[in-house]
Amino acid sequence: MMNFWENEFIQTAAYCSVVILCMIVFLAIFELVTKYKNWDEIKNGNVAVAMATGGKIFGIANIFRHSILQHDTLLNMISWGVFGFFLLLIAYFIFEFLTPKFNIDVEIENDNRAVGLISLIISIGLSFVIGAGIS
C-alpha cells in the first residue's frame, strides 16, 4: 500500500483533488465576506466580479502551487495552503480598509471594472509573495 501513495500519478491526483475541495471551501468563505453573491453577479455579466473572483481563484491556486512544491506530505501541503489562504483573506480586509473613500464590495458589485481589475492584480500579486514565504 505504501508504494501506492508514492506513485506520482496518485500523488498528483490527490493534490489536485484536495486543492479543488479547498478551492470550493475558500471561495465559499469569500462569498460569505463579500456583500455581493459572486456567482449570481457573474451569471448576470458583472465583469468586475468575474475579475475579482478570477484573481481569488488564481491566488488560491498559486499559493497551493508553492505549497505542493515545498512540502512533501499531503497534510503539510494542506496546512501551508490553508495558512496562505488566510493571509490572502487578511489582505482582502486590509485592501478594503485602505480605501476609505469608497467601498470595494459596492464598487465591484456595481461593475466598476477598474476596482475589479485592481482586486484581481492584488490577489495575484500577493499570492506570489505568500507563495514565496511558503517556499
DSSP output for 39-60: HHHHHTT-HHHHHHHHHHHHHH
Domain count for the chain: 1
Per-residue pLDDT, 2: 62
Q: In this predicted model, which residue has the larger pLDDT, 90 or 4?
A: 90
pLDDT-based confidence at 44, cuts 50/70/90? very high
Domain membership of residue 25 as a residue range: 2-134
7-16, 56-65, 85-94, 119-128: least confident range: 7-16
Residue 1 has pLDDT above 70, yes or no: no
Mean pLDDT computed over 27-51: 94
Of the CA atoms within 13 Å of residue 51, those in its CB half-sphere come to: 20
Per-residue pLDDT, 5: 65
Output the pTM of the full model. 0.89
Mean pLDDT computed over 106-129: 95
